[in-house]
Amino acid sequence: MGFLSKLFRSSTKKEMETMSKVKLAVIFYSMGGTNYQLARWAEEGANEIGALVKVLKVQELAPDSVIEGNDIWKATVEATKNVPVATSADIEWADAIIFSVPTRFGNMPSQMKQFLDIQGGLWASGKTINKVVSAMTSAQNPHGGQEATILSLYTSMMHWGAIIATPGYTDPVIFGAGGNPYGTSVTVGQDGKMIEDVQAAVKHQAKRTVTVAEWVKNANQ
């Protein structure tokens, strides 16, 4: 009985530790692979401080005929084929969410917009309230709509009743990545490679988002 009792206590302790961990969903859309990489760096940063992380993509809406004609786009679809598609259940599961998207004329891509638009049921039932959220983006030019794209996501999050956790200027790595206080943003050159070194900034943003979510989670227990 002593062994079984000890085993039960150990199992219960592990379950409680798992329940107390912040659950982070990193949800991205990527055509050229940049935001997929940002999502993976966010995953690494969150894992470093003990979060439970899911990396998820939103559903692709572009027709196959268009994707097939673009080698980079096609390669990204292939590289992310095993990444699960985000669902409403993932939003409900998460304590915190980091979105990562490229800019489309100063706005989020239609793929991400549709994903947000179909969460009306969760919103109506109050299940988006107090989710801690943050966002990242990329563009081909430093002033190609990066801040506006992040703000377009945050506008929806305000309607959700979410808690927006921006990186601000909370760490020197923000300046090294271009100094965007709204969320990490990166410029992508014509060769498809990132111009700024943003890995450390992405990890910091992920850790900050998880930390804020931990504060909220502990306050509600």
Quick one: tokens of 113?
Answer: 């917009």
Question: Rounded distance, CA 111 to CA 114, Å?
Answer: 5
Q: Does residue 2 form part of some domain?
A: no
Q: Which residues constitute the domain of residue 118?
A: 22-219
Q: Does residue 186 form part of some domain?
A: yes
Residue matched to tokens 């890995």: 199
Quick one: tokens of 124?
Answer: 């109506």
Quick one: tokens of 98?
Answer: 């980091």
Which secondary-structure segment (H or E) carries 56?
A: strand 52-57
Q: Does residue 198 form part of some domain?
A: yes
Q: What is the pTM of this model?
A: 0.90
Q: Does residue 114 form part of some domain?
A: yes
Q: Does residue 129 form part of some domain?
A: yes
* 83, 207, 119, 110 alpha-carbon torsion, rounded to 10°: -60
How many separate domains does the chain show? 1
- Name which of 69, 43, 38 is nearest 54 in CA terms: 43
Q: Does residue 70 form part of some domain?
A: yes
What is the mean pLDDT, run by run of 10 residues, along the chain of 221 residues? Answer: 54 54 97 96 98 97 92 93 98 98 95 97 97 97 93 97 98 95 94 92 98 92 65
* 174, 21, 113, 186 alpha-carbon torsion, rounded to 10°: 20
Contact between 28 and 99 under an 8 Å Cβ cutoff? The reply is: yes
End-to-end CA distance of the chain: 32
Contact between 32 and 62 under an 8 Å Cβ cutoff? The reply is: no
CATH number at residue 189: 3.40.50.360
User: What is residue 9's predicted lDDT score, i.e. its pLDDT?
Assistant: 57
User: What is residue 15's predicted lDDT score, i.e. its pLDDT?
Assistant: 47
Q: Does residue 163 form part of some domain?
A: yes
